[in-house]
Chain A
Amino acid sequence: MMPTNGGAALRTERVTRQYQMGAALIRAVDEVSLEVGAAEFLALLGSSGSGKSTLLNLMAGLDRPTSGAILAHDRNLAEMNALELARYRNRTVGMVFQAFNLLPRMTLEENVELPLRLAEVERGERGGRVREALERVHLEKRLSHRPSELSGGEQQRAALARALVNRPTILLADEPTGNLDSTTGLEIMNLLQEINRSLGMTIVLVTHERPLAERFAHRIAELADGKLVSSGSKGVSGGQA
């Protein structure tokens, strides 16, 4: 499925995030203005320390910008209070991390159910939603397994199911293939592409692997030293409408 032109799912306007490190002031993100369209698959490309993960965290509402605005479906995250931001993270965005971040003492089913608990979804409804999400990532037979009993790829797929279970409109993936071998990484990228196409979900992928970005993303935004150096290059197999 190709992205639609129905407006921006995410927009950053001169977003800056700076940190005080002793006497030095570090600008992790420096006046980045970027727009991600609805159902677009955007890759944030950059080397280590370029500020791409920081920008993703700002888009996820996990962090607040020092200055500038981040708008998700035209709602400014900077104007949201802590509770509204928590709801935004729970219902509007789904996140996938490099380290999977599954809770080790919970089964797969319980891990995937967690966002539903936080969203106060009725207990009777949860089982079906969890199974649906796990079927999408082909893990429906591993419900009762703990993360330690799964391979890295399976863990990342489980994390993806957890990110999808609340049916968010935006999926933010922070180096999802970083801890995986290339074959498994490709599987995950295929899965992301399939989700983007079938569900029309906006995806922002943070990666330092240009070939992956070029192969799967519709568009690549490149960051260096916190600044946006390019935002229009097209992916190889995608291509923006």
Chain B
Amino acid sequence: MKSGDLTELAVRNLREAALRNSLTTLGIAVGVASLVAMLSLGVGLQQLANRRLARSGLFDTVFVTSRANFPGFGRRSSRSSLSSSSNTSSSASQPSNSSSDFENSTKDREPRRLDDAARRELEHLPHVVEVFPQIRFVTEVRYNGNPLTAMVAAIPDSARGSGSFDNIQGSFFSSPTADEAILQMEFAKDLSDQPSSLLGKDLVLRYAERRVIGMATGAQDAEGQGAGGAGKVSHSSSGGGPGKTLAAADPAPENQGISIVPRDKTLRIVGIVDTEPAAGFGGLGSGRVLIPLKLGEALRAAQGNDLRDILRGSGTRPGYANLTVRAESPSQVQALESAIKKMGFAAFSLLDASEGLRTVFKIFDLLLGIFGSLALAVAMLGIVNTLVMAILERRREIGILKALGAADRDVKQLFFLEAGVMGLLGGTLGVGLGWLIGRAVTAGTNLYLRRQELPPTDVFAVTWWLLLGAIIFSIAVSLGAGLYPASRAAKLNPVEALRYE
């Protein structure tokens, strides 16, 4: 029989036992709805976690530092040197191949400095979105004449779209160089009982500017953050005016150093934000006063690593303590990290932690899928039952069809198609039902979140592939359930079937 005729007959047969077939179809719909709801929840939670992780900036960034700053570098380097100088077998002292590779790549040469040339080189690596230094320093903040100590963090302009500022009171920086500050909420509360009243007001940063002594002016201007000074550390007078230096300036290398100059910088408060304490590495969590990155670089504020660089003898040369390299997506981080390591820098990312999280979600999705499928399995039994009942009821009809010339294949296809149509209808209905469940749970969740004064979120993600997949799965399951009844119907003896009353 032609497929059009078969379909017509199948639909007609389904219409005949409308109530029973509707209930069976409803059973499939409930099964599919349960599957869709469970998987949507899994996908939704995964997407939510991914969004949060992406916003944290932890998984699309590579943190780069000079190998000289890398913990253990000096020890391995000196051991290597020692081994080399004493002419003993170095292989015996090497714990592993990777360690050996590391030593081979680093011994006999100075670790690369993280300077402007290196920054430009990093910026030109493929799939790099931006490269910026981490600027954080503890300083004194004055508001209304009252001094408070706070950590200042400079943030790149790209942080605007990270999501951390979605619920900002006020606004983000008007420009990357604006003399503006965004306060962390807790700090704002320290300044005023009514934090929102701070918006538009000025505060003063009193910070220590680092100036290199014994360098050409141009070189000093090019100096970024993180470069310390070798030799002497000069002392600035407390409360001294800008540029007031007590250190002696001597161009001779052995007399090079840096001076610390107290500076004041007035900033307008443009925003107040709830930064997450856990934003952590590379994030904003530890900054109580946030300033634009370019402004932060221009301040040349002394940082904690300056003294270490001076002691190493590299403090007067322009460079960075570390750089953050942001990739286009987390999938490119691994390749980027390898490329940076080949350039001679220490680099690391939190990609492995992200991979682990993905695995957890995959297992979570699998479990949700299994639980969701249980209802569908029950629906499958319903289909088998309905079709087996239909065979009993339509035994005579099958006999007539066979007497009129229907082949076994025609009868089988007819029952198969009836199961498929129930699967299609049930699947479509189930997808709609699952979507409704998703919307209802999301609405309920958001109602709860709003009561907790938390921003609303979408915990369900009903993707097109999930909808399509659920309908196809429903049809496949229904066809599977129809296999036995269809085969049984096809094998009916027509003489016996015609005799059936």
Instruction: Report which A residues bind B (CB closer than 8 A).
Output: 57, 60, 62-63, 82-83, 86-91, 95, 97, 101, 103, 105-106, 114-115, 117-120, 123, 162, 166
Contacts and interface: CB of A to CB of B under 8 A. Distances in A.
B403 interface: yes
Question: Interface residue tally of chain B, by bracket?
Answer: 20 to 34
A62 B402 contact: yes
B404 A90 contact: yes
Contact of B407 (A60, A83, A97): A83
Given A117-B5, A120-B2, A62 B494 contact: yes
Contacts of B407: 82-83, 86-87
Given A62-B495, A120-B1, A120-B2, A162 B404 contact: yes
A91 B410 CA distance: 16
A83 B403 CA distance: 13
Contact of B396 (A87, A101, A120): A101
B26 to A, nearest CB: 23
B405 interface: yes
Given A62-B495, A105-B12, A120-B2, A90 B405 contact: yes
Contacts of B191: none
Q: Is chain A's interface secondary structure helix, strand, loop, or mixed overall?
A: helix
Give the residue among A90, A106, A118 with the most B Cβ atoms within 10 A.
A118
A82 B406 contact: no
A118 B409 contact: no
Given A63-B493, A86-B408, A115-B404, 8 more contacts: A62-B498, A86-B405, A90-B404, A90-B405, A97-B403, A101-B498, A103-B400, A117-B2
B193 interface: no
Given A62-B495, A82-B408, A83-B409, A118 B1 contact: yes
A185 B493 CA distance: 29
A170 B418 CA distance: 34
B409 A89 contact: no
A86 B406 contact: yes
B101 interface: no
Nearest to B16: A105
16 contacts: A57-B495, A60-B403, A62-B494, A86-B405, A86-B406, A86-B408, A87-B405, A90-B405, A90-B406, A95-B403, A101-B400, A103-B397, A103-B400, A105-B16, A117-B5, A118-B1
Contact of A86 (B2, B396, B402, B498): B402
Contacts of A117: 1-2, 5, 9
A179 to B, nearest CB: 13
Nearest to B397: A103
Nearest to A102: B400
A119 B405 contact: yes
A62 B2 CA distance: 23
Interface in B379-410: 396-397, 399-410
A16 B26 CA distance: 51
A72 to B, nearest CB: 14
A225 to B, nearest CB: 19
